[in-house]
Amino acid sequence: MTTTDAAVPAEAVETPPVLVRMTAMAKAFGPTQAVRDASFELRSGEVHALVGENGSGKSTLVKLLSGVHAPDAGTIELLGLETPSLRTPRAAQDAGVVTVFQEVLVAEARSVLDNVWLGVDTLVRQRVGRREKRVRAREALAELLGRPLDLDKAVEELSLSERQACCIVRALLRDPRILILDEATSSLDVATRDRLFGIVSRLTRSGVGAIFITHRMDEISEIGDRITVMRSGETVATLARGSWTPRELVRLMTGSDQLTERAREDGGAVAERRGDVALSARGLRLRAGRRPMDVEIHAGELVGVAGLEGHGQDAFLDALRGAGAVDGAIVRHVGGRDEPVGSPTRAARLGVAYVPRERRQTLFGWMSIRENFGMPTLSADSRRGWLRLRLTRRRLNEYVARLGIVLGDPGDPITTLSGGNQQKVAISRWLAADPRVLLLNDPTRGIDVGAKRDLYALLTELAQEGRAVVMLSSELDEHVELMDRVLVFREHELFRELDHASLSREALVSAFFGEDGESG
Amino acid sequence: MSTGAVATESPARPASSARAGYAVTLGLRLLNRYSFAFALLLTVALLATTIVRDPDPWSNGFWVGLLQNMAPMALAAMASTPAIISGGGGFDLSISPLMYFLAEVFIVWLAPHSLGGFASVPIVLGLGAAIGAFNGLLIILLRVPPVVATLAVFFVLIGVDLRMLANPNEGGYLSPSNWVVHLADKVGPIPGGVFTLGFPLLVWFLLGLLPYRRTLYAVGSNDATAFASGVNVALVRVVAYSLGGLFAGVASLALVAISLSANPSLSQSYTLLAIAAVALGGTSLWGGRGGLFGSLLGAASIYLLGNLLLTLQVDPSYLQVMYGGMLLVAVVLGGVAARARQAE
Amino acid sequence: MSAIPGQPAAATGATRIWRRLVALQARFPILQAVLLIAVYLYAATSLSLSSWHSIREILTLAALAGLAATGQTLLILMGGFDLSVSNFILASALTVSVLRDQWGVSYEVAILVAVVAGGLFGALAGQICHRFEIQPLIVTLAMGGIAIGLVQVETGGTFAGSSPPWLIRLASPQSDTFGVIGIPPLVSIWAVVAVLMAVFLHRTAAGRRVMATGANPRAAEYSLIRTRRVWTLAFAFSGVVSALVGLLVAGSAASVDSTVGDPYLFQSVVAVIVGGTVFGGPGDYSRTALGALFLTVVNFVLVGKGATPGDQNMIYGVAILVAVALYGRERRLRDRI
Amino acid sequence: MRESGSRSRHVRAWIAAVGLLGVVAAIAVATATSSASASPAKAARATQACGQDVSYINKIKDPDGVFKKLPANIQARYGPWPYSVRATPWEAFKGKKPPWKIGLITFPVGSPWLADLIKQVGVEFDKAKAKGLTSGSLVKYIQASYATATPEQQAAAVQQMVRQGVDGILLLPLAGPPLVPAIDAAGKAGVPVVITDNVIDGSKYVVNVWSQNNSPAAAGVAGLVKKGNILFVRGIAGNPVEQAFQDAAVADVKACPGLKIVGTVWGKWTNATATAEVAKWLAAHPDVKVDGVIQNGIMMAGIIQAFLQAGRPVPPISGGGCQGGELSWWLAHKSTYKSVATCFNGFQTAWSEFRILLRILNGNGLKVRDIHVPVPVVTNSNLSVFATPGKPLSWPGEPRGPISGWAPNSFLDGYFNKPGNPKGF
């Protein structure tokens, strides 16, 4: 892999002062224990990468440090002295802790200038003069984006990556002692990302400490001086630069390198599962001006959708479920007939089911488990508008047994379930509609290993039943261990298609970075 | 309510094919930049017609009357605005009863105790601001929809108004010699309305010099962002509500100036008018957009329309329909503009 | 509404008990029920409101309040709001009294006109709200104004009419349902509506869709619920109900004047809120019914005790405050980052 | 989601408590400041006999000494007049040359009375136009709906009309006091504003034409009942006129030692509300016998309705500002039902109002600012003159009566230095 010359200068190496020391932090949201026992240390002048699977508690941990949440337990030391837990982001910022959060947080209606300086002034006193604000904002943005940005433009008129740039600049302008970047590069283009790394290493040289959360191995290896790995709410290891391999990281993150219970099926098994084409995309463009793609999804196969974050995987799934492709056609093949998939409703009618990524987008907060379970299949479960609750109940029980969903009473609010079980409900409720093609958007995101196993087992089962499963995942091993073939996306194009034989972590990673096939 | 377009593709922007289409997009641009554009257009048109129809529009009386008469409604609208801008469904239903409450305080309590002089100004405004702040706190601490919380205060205040003046024939009046009357007439050569209407605008302008106003809009636009960036969102909102109360204080003075009397039985008469004026003025009830000036224009156009219908002797029955129509057009335009924005 | 669990893991005994109560309360409107019983007992003892005759009166007026809040309940469950209830009520009351005479048409026709118009105006309001993402508050306000305006134009400004005897009899607390069942017709209607609403919300797909739309619009869209259609129909429903309630109001008022709608402008909302239905759910019509009943009994007590309108308003306000104090449900800012 | 939900709930509970306390405090303060009923009532009690209407004549505030100058027969008309009687600038008014432009401003139309009044003013205007007394067309401003009506709008309308060169204005105020400045301004500009259905005591230039039309009925009912329980049905809380009516009514009741006030409800001057509120009260007091009801105006039908509903005998109900429906009902039950009402209709009001305005404009010299029009008292004996037979209780019609039945020309002549209408109108 490539490593730029943004290496850490010598003087910073011999143990510099500790900026942050978090010990035995814990934080729970209702039944879900987001962080259970996390300890973390940040030294002056280092970039400390924080890695772990989705939902392993990284974000929560940094939110504890940046005053968004108050910890249930644990102590935070800032610059050597014990601090009473930081109650608000403001408090944290005054203490020199500045965070760029995972969400792209902007005030859409306000100008770029207002956005980057938001919260610096008090309500009555200007901490920074107007002219100075403009000058510094312009410089910072230019340095990051490599081109000037109209300071008076409303942020809602900017592209996503420009917005994220605003968030980053907002943090930089506060002259942080401790800079936290929580997946802050997810929607930046590569050049901007490199410029950001340049800025970060400049800051660290001047004694700033940076905490860096990312999913991209290459980024870690590029600027990470130390790495702390988190798994299901705990910090499991802290490794110094060079003393780790991707493989090992993955093992640490997942807790095992054998993900699926069963030994991986051989090609033969896969071949016989595979049926005729169930769903196909013809001349599909995910963005204007990109290379069109033709994809065929067969019945009974497990197709992985992979790529670096924000390279078009989500757009691809959306297209498949009939929601907004730029151009091209999605066709569902049912019993010899070709049915165009126009809208999500149409797609559903043709047996294409989609499970979104965000649980916030799938669950109905206060409603009961049973109601949540029954939602997508309302029409199926009702005769002339009348709900036949028995059907729903029976099916729910069936899936509870099949997926080992742990729940008290199906009448309880869905919010009483743990993340994994919520996800199981979210998926199983679509299975209840007996879809022929199942589109899953990173379903194992933020659920514990046990739950993952169950899901994998389920998905294989589904494939064996002759359903086509298309699954977007941000985890390499899921692809390697589970998929029959993997579609790797890059810059919103189908970059490569790895079939069962040629499927390996290295192959994937190299494909992610657009390296030609065999090497890496 | 933003059940937005998850699956449904966002509605088409005005077809910019024809020249007309271009005009439309241009209009929407304008509306995005200046949310009060529509209200301004309306006001100018109505005002122009009024002036044309009026025997001598350049006499002082014309403007004095105009300003004094629309002052209470306009001020009520302006008082409702900061809370709405502060977002989070921000809303203050209690403005109208608050106006009447403060008017009563002035007439029933202050004036008789020889506080009817200029001393009354800080007292009335202060009291208004305090009650506004109370609303804000209620909403922040109970974390309930502002409409509901302020509805409760709405009822309580109406009750208090009626209670305070159990016998409207005793002490419900203010002597015409009181200084307030000038607010409904002239102060030297200047129409009194200029002062009452000018005050909130001035305050608003001065707030513009402080970081507060920008922060308020940011909070209204996206409170999570503001919070994450270290803004004390709760404080910003409470201040917004107390600003509303402050302006309600001014409104009460304008009201007293015209009526020279406390009329508890009318406590809620400005509630719906204010809402309509604000919406007409292009202030988005989602927060973060719009401003005091828009509300002023909104109120102006409502008032002028009523006035014009009288001058033109249009059947008053049509008034309601026109108000409603105007309102719908205004908010729909706002919605379309917002869509155009998102599409960009 | 958040999709992520609600209560902290560790808690002391005291807070656990408190939370139990809150959770229980969140399921059933226990508090309201208790309050209702308490107030009624007080009323029965100190004001002798216990006679079947008095109960008839109470139930009838409660029925009116409750029925007027039917549409509102659905809308608030769905995350909407309706400020046009009072105007629609007045509009339809005038249609069946004044306009019917003017047009010289049969009651059936007049009622049909009122109901259809109510439905159309409602549907339009829903469409506009959803399509342009405008707060229903404004749109319904405008719609109500337009509806009244049109009626006014039609009647030439006169707002006084008398309701047909059969309507008056229908709405009278002392007449019996079908002249046989010993319950006032309004109350029977209310009971039926309550049952229907319960069935609708809990036993029909449509009801589920409404609640889902309120609970999480995005998720609803993903679950293939056409939220725009839901909004349109819900508002149409509210319009129709308001029109029908307008008839009953006209009946109980006997003579229609321009103020018959006024009490329902906010009352419809208050009944829902006090009942404990929250914007976007959870909630239920049974709660609204309870809320209406509660408010009515309180009102009887106040009037019986000769409370001035001033006091009545204040008590109203306090009732709402207390209710919302127990039902605050907005998410904290820090949880949205 | 909520971390430490319980704490936040505790907080909420506290807030609620605090809010509650605040409210209670407010009530306390408010109560402290709220005073008892008006003084004239108390003052009048001494001389008043049961069944006789309260008379303030010897207490009438007469700062300008104009009242004393009025002929005795006219003074006698001022029995229940609770306000002062003042001189008016219009006495010296030289008048303008006809034809005149006339304006009409009213609150929203809610009753047949107002509807008829507006209709009749139009009719009179056209008749006058035929005689060359008025020009153009009647300039009208009728407020659209109570939901959006404010007195300030009426004030604006007055100013607007003055600007438009209207010579005289007939005004039915939504609320009196707020209109004072506008009316005085109009007066200074030489535009008389004649108001009815309300009295504006604070204005110099206003012309008040008013009937204290409830208290004779109240007194009548009090006299009819003599002994027993009286229920008060009041109008809109916080309204000055309402209070004046109430004060008189209280005085009338106090005049009968046998009468006991057992309750007060608020009917908001609408039959619908009156029915509901009375029904509530009756339900709450099933064992209290109500021997008489005294209402604040135009609510008789609603109250009858409530009693019928409750299946109780309908007691005498004061019919202040009577309406057609209740009269027909009364007529139908003439044999068994006794009551006292005071009746006049919108046509009559318009007829007289219009003439008063014309006389002022003609410079006939109005003697006093305040004209009190005694209203015909209706009892079982003369009921048939006013009632329309065979109508339902809820009939929104009006009492019958000759168009000049309220304030005939002869009556008006007493108030003007120069009698008669211009051009023998």
Report the Cα–Cα distance between both ends of chain C, in Å, rounded: 14
Pick the more confident residue, B18 or D368. Answer: D368
CB contact under 8 Å between B328 and C142, yes or no, is: yes
Query: Domain for residue B237, yes or no?
Result: yes
C73 inside 8 A of chain D by CB: no
Q: What is the pLDDT of residue A399?
A: 86
Question: What pLDDT is stored for residue A39 in this prediction?
Answer: 93
DSSP alpha helices (H): ranges in D34-46? 39-45
Record: contact B210-A123, CB cut-off 8 A: yes
Q: Which residues of A touch D (CB under 8 A)?
A: 28-30, 69-70, 415
Cβ atoms of residues A334 and A350 within 8 Å: yes
CA distances to C310, D210, D320 from B265, rounded to whole Å, are 10, 21, 21
- Residue D367: its pLDDT value, please? 92
Q: H-type helices in chain C, by residue range?
A: 13-27, 30-47, 52-68, 70-77, 85-94, 100-103, 107-132, 136-155, 165-171, 185-203, 205-215, 217-222, 227-253, 264-275, 285-304, 309-327
What's the pLDDT tens digit per position in B284-294?
888 888 999 99
Is the pLDDT at B13 greater than 70? The verdict is no
Of A241-255, B127-141, B265-279, the one with minimum mean pLDDT is A241-255
Q: Is residue B5 part of a domain?
A: no
Q: Is the pLDDT of residue D26 over 70?
A: no
Distance CA(A117)–CA(A104), nearest Å, equals 15
Nearest CA in chain B to A66: B228
Residue A174 pLDDT exceeds 80: yes
Query: What residues of A are in contact with residue D3 (Cβ under 8 Å)?
Result: 28-29, 69-70
ω into B211 cis (within 30 of 0): no
Say if residue D177 is preceded by a cis peptide, omega within 30 of 0: no
Let me know if residue B17 belongs to a domain.
Answer: no
Domain-located, residue B287: yes
Residue with tokens 């006049």: D344
User: Chains with ≥3 Cβ pairs under 8 A against D?
Assistant: A, B, C
Lowest-confidence pick of A269-278, B48-57, C168-177: A269-278
Nearest CB partner across the interface for C1, out of A101, A365, A417: A365
User: pLDDT at position C27, please?
Assistant: 75
- The region of weakest confidence among A110-114, A216-220, C75-79, D244-248 is A216-220
- Return the pLDDT at C159: 74
The answer to whether residue D320 is domain-embedded is no
Q: How far apart are CA A163 and CA A175, in angstroms?
A: 20
The CA-atom distances, in angstroms, between C202 and each of A415, C23, C193, C281, C284 are 20, 20, 14, 13, 9
- Cross-chain residue pair D393–C160, CB shorter than 8 Å: no
* pLDDT score of B7 more than 50: no
pLDDT over 70 percentage in chain B: 94
SS3 call for B27: helix
Choose which CATH entry (3.40.50, 1.10.287, 2.60.40, 1.10.3470) describes domain C30-328. 1.10.3470
- Dist CA D403 CA D197 (whole Å): 18
Q: How would you write the pLDDT of chain C (337 residues) with one tens digit per residue?
A: 333 333 344 456 777 787 777 777 777 888 888 888 988 998 888 888 888 888 988 999 999 999 999 999 999 999 999 999 999 999 999 999 888 888 889 999 999 999 999 999 999 999 999 999 898 999 999 999 999 999 988 887 777 788 888 888 888 888 887 777 788 999 999 999 999 999 999 999 999 999 999 999 989 988 889 999 999 999 999 999 999 999 999 998 888 888 888 889 888 899 998 888 888 888 899 999 999 999 999 999 999 988 999 999 999 899 888 877 776 666 777 777 7
Q: How far apart are CA A439 and CA A355, in angstroms?
A: 6
The boundaries of the domain holding residue B72 are 28-343
Give pLDDT tens digits for D369-390. Answer: 999 998 889 999 999 999 999 9
Does residue B167 belong to the interface with chain D, where contact is any CB pair within 8 Å? Answer: yes
Highest-scoring range by mean pLDDT, A480-489, C252-261, D123-132: D123-132
Taking an 8 Å cut-off on Cβ atoms, the answer to whether D181 and B164 are in contact is: no
Other beta carbons less than 10 A from residue A245's beta carbon? 12
| pLDDT at B344 (0 to 100) | 58
Which pair of tokens denotes residue A207? 């004694």
Cβ-defined contact of B3 to C314 (cutoff 8 Å): no
Task: Please state the ipTM of this predicted complex.
Answer: 0.88
Interface check for D159 against chain B (CB to CB < 8 A): the answer is: yes
- In-domain check, residue D28: no
Has residue A234 got a pLDDT over 80?
yes
Smallest CA–CA distance from B219 into chain A, residue: A107
Residue B208 lies in a domain: yes
pLDDT tens for residues A215-227? 777 788 888 899 9
Q: What is the DSSP letter of D364?
A: -
- d(Cα C118, Cα A129) in Å, to the nearest integer? 57
Q: Catalogue all structural domains in chain A, each as residue range(s) with its CATH number.
A: 18-106+174-254 (3.40.50.300), 258-351+435-520 (3.40.50.300), 360-434 (no CATH)
- Interface membership of C142 toward B (CB under 8 Å): yes
pLDDT digits (tens, 9 = 90+) for A387-433: 888 888 888 888 888 888 887 788 888 888 877 788 888 888 888 88
Question: Residue B190: pLDDT band by 50, 70, 90 thresholds?
Answer: confident
**pTM recorded for the entire structure:** 0.89
Please indicate if any CB of chain A lies within 8 Å of the CB of B86: no
Find chain A residues with C-beta within 8 A of B86's C-beta: none
- Where does the pLDDT of residue D4 fall: very low under 50, low under 70, confident under 90, or very high at 90 and above? very low
Q: What is the pLDDT of residues D49-108, one digit of tens each?
A: 888 888 888 888 889 888 888 888 888 888 888 888 999 999 999 989 989 999 999 998
- CB contact C216 to D (< 8 Å): no
Q: Identify whether B130 is part of a domain.
A: yes
The alpha carbon dihedral of C10, C11, C16, C20 has a sign of: negative
Distances (CA, A) of B243 to A250, B134, B211, B248, D65: 55, 11, 15, 8, 51
Question: Which of C:242-271 have CB within 8 Å of D?
Answer: 249, 252-260, 262-263, 265
Which amino acid is residue B336, in one-letter code? V
**C331 in the Ramachandran plot: left (φ > 0), alpha (ψ -120 to 50) or beta?**
beta
Mean pLDDT of A173-193: 87
* CA separation for the pair A373, A386 (Å, rounded): 17
Residue D6 contacts A, CB cutoff 8 Å: no
Residue D93 lies in a domain: yes
Q: Is residue D45 part of a domain?
A: no
AA identity, residue D339: S
Position D11 confidence tier, pLDDT thresholds 50, 70, 90: low
Of B144, B161, B166, which is closest to C324 when you measure between CB atoms? B144
Round to the nearest angstrom and report the end-to-end CA distance of chain D. Answer: 79
- Cβ contact C3–A359 (<8 Å): yes
> Which comes out higher in pLDDT, residue C26 or B302?
B302
Number of domains in chain B: 1
The percent of residues in chain A predicted with pLDDT above 90, rounded, is 26
Nearest-Cα distance to chain D for A356, in Å, is: 20
For residue A344, give the chain C residue with the closest CA. Answer: C224
Domain range for D111 is 88-211+346-373+407-424
Residues 62-81 of A with CB under 8 A from B: 68
Tell me if D396 sits within 8 A of D325, measured CB to CB.
yes
pLDDT in tens, B67-109: 988 999 999 999 999 999 998 888 899 999 999 999 999 999 8
Work out whether the CA dihedral B305, B309, B315, B316 comes out positive or negative. positive
Q: Does residue A329 surpass a pLDDT of 70?
A: yes
CB atoms within 10 A of CB B206: 11
Nearest to D255 by CA among D298, D215, D286: D215
- Listed residue (A161, A166, A107) closest to A140, CA to CA: A166
> For chain D, how many structural domains are there in total?
1
Average pLDDT of chain A to the nearest whole number = 84
Band of residue D43 on the pLDDT scale cut at 50, 70, 90: very low
Does C255 contact D302 at a Cβ distance shorter than 8 Å?
yes
